[in-house]
């Protein structure tokens, strides 16, 4: 039997792709300043144009409040607790609905992806309901759920459900079959084992994308949902502000919605890059 020393040894780094680990780490640690820079610049530009419009057109505050007025109102609402409380309420509504969507939608997506029968039966139903906007469900939501939290959560559920299901189906279907074979030859002896150890992790990036998109659509629907006899939330803040012609409150609400939307989305992106 030939022994080790007969085989010529070659350096291990044959074909090593990355040139250095420093380069790789450097890419990930772009500072917050670098990432946020463009956004701050954009904000400043908007504020400048806005202020110019105020000076040039001199509109009543109800139609277009000045940037300084909006900023003052923003800080007022922030300090009084109105803004954080309403933001928290809206955020928790969306989060709860989104979790329900995930709990229902991911297993459903898995089922559709793996069973032809299920796909033939369930898929047409999904395609029929998908185009119906969450807003169209509002009257029924009031009838069925009354004015409590469940009505609003129902609306957000409608908004969040479909991206999760569809992305789960896609993710599972596109799992490379050779990975499944590898799993089988490495001891995954039954369906559940193969599913949890190979199929699900392989599909996870897609599923996470679905969840990220879904949170976004849910967040966008929060205004509509909070027209369902709400007495709290950012959507309520906006509707209420409009009623008393406080456009500054309306804009504060809009800004809060925008900021939270961006923050949540970037948290998702961070998570995704850690996992995938």
Partner 1 sequence: MAIVEQVSQYPETSISEPAITINRVSKQFHDDEGGVIEALRSTSIDIKEGEFVVVVGPSGCGKSTLLNMLGGFDSPSSGQIRVDGEPINGPHIQRGMVFQDYALFPWLTVIDNVMFGLRKTHSKAAAREVAMKWLELVGLGEFAQKHPLHLSGGMKQRVAIARTFATDPKVILMDEPFGALDALTRRFLQQQLLKIWSEHRKTVVFITHSVQEAVYLANRVIIMTARPGQVKLDAPINLPHPRKVTSAEFRETETTIFEALDEEMAKTFSLDSADGFSD
Partner 2 sequence: MNSFKLALASLLAVGAGVAQAQEVINIGVQPATQPIYIAKAAGFLDEIEAEYNVDFEFQSFSYGAPENQALAAGAIQMASAGMGPAIVASARLPAKLLAITILDQTAIMVRPDSDIATVADLKDKTIAYPGRGSQQYPLLIKALADAGLTEDDVRLFKTKGSEVGNLLSTGSVDAGVTWDPHVSSALASGAAKALVTSGSILPIKGDHYVGNGFYARTDFIEEYPEVTQAVVDALVRSAQLILDDPETAIDMWAAEVGVPRDVIEFSIKEGISVYTTDITPDQETIDAYTKFLKDAGILEAEDTPKIDTSFAEKASNAG
58 binds partner 2 (CB under 8 A): no
- Burial string for 64-97 (b: 16+ CB within 10 Å, else e) reads bbbbebbbebbeebeeeeebeebbebbbebbbbb
What residues line the site for partner 1 (CB under 8 A)? Answer: 1-4, 6-8, 10, 12, 14-18, 24, 176, 178-179, 181-187, 189, 197-198, 201-202, 204, 275-276
CB of 143 to partner 2, least distance (A): 9
Closer CB to partner 2, 61 or 184, in the complex: 61
Neighbour tally for 255: CB within 10 Å: 16
Three-state secondary structure of 161-203:
HHHHHHHHHHHHHCCCHHHHHHHHHCCCCCHHHHHHHHHHHHH
Among 118, 180, 229, 264, binds partner 2 (CB under 8 A): 229
Q: How many residues bind partner 2 (CB under 8 A)?
A: 18
Closer CB to partner 2, 10 or 244, in the complex: 244
CB of 85 to partner 1, least distance (A): 39
Binding partner at 71 among partner 2, partner 1, none, C-beta below 5 to 8 Å by kind: none
State which of positions 234-263 bind partner 2 (CB under 8 A): 236, 239-240, 242-246
146 binds partner 2 (CB under 8 A): yes
Closer CB to partner 2, 188 or 238, in the complex: 238
Closer CB to partner 2, 95 or 232, in the complex: 232
State which of positions 18-57 bind partner 2 (CB under 8 A): none
CB of 170 to partner 1, least distance (A): 17
Where on the chain is the footprint of partner 2 (CB under 8 A)? 60-63, 142, 146-147, 229-231, 236, 239-240, 242-246
């Amino acid at each position: 039997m030939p022994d080790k020393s007969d085989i010529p040894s070659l350096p291990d780094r044959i074909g090593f792709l990355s040139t250095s680990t420093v380069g790789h780490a450097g890419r990930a640690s772009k500072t917050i300043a670098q990432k946020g820079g463009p956004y701050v610049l954009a904000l400043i530009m908007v504020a400048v144009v806005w202020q110019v419009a105020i000076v040039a057109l001199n509109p009543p505050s109800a139609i277009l409040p000045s940037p300084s007025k909006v900023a003052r109102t923003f800080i007022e609402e922030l300090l009084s607790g109105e803004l954080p409380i309403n933001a928290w309420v809206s955020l928790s509504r969306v989060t709860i609905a989104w979790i329900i969507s995930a709990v229902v939608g991911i297993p459903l997506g898995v089922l559709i992806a793996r069973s032809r029968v299920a796909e033939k039966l369930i898929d047409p139903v999904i395609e029929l309901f998908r185009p119906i906007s969450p807003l169209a469900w509002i009257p029924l939501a009031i009838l069925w759920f009354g004015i409590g939290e469940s009505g609003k959560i129902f609306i957000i559920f409608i908004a969040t459900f479909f991206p999760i299901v569809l992305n789960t189906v896609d993710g599972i279907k596109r799992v490379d079959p050779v990975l499944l074979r590898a799993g089988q030859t490495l001891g995954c002896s039954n369906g559940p084992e193969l599913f949890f150890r190979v199929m699900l992790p392989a599909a996870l990036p897609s599923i996470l994308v679905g969840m990220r998109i879904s949170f976004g659509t849910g967040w966008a629907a929060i205004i509509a949902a909070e027209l369902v006899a709400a007495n709290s939330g950012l959507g309520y803040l906006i509707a209420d502000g409009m009623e008393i012609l406080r456009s500054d409150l309306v804009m504060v609400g809009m800004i809060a919605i925008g900021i939270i939307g961006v923050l949540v989305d970037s948290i998702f992106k961070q998570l995704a890059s850690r996992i995938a």
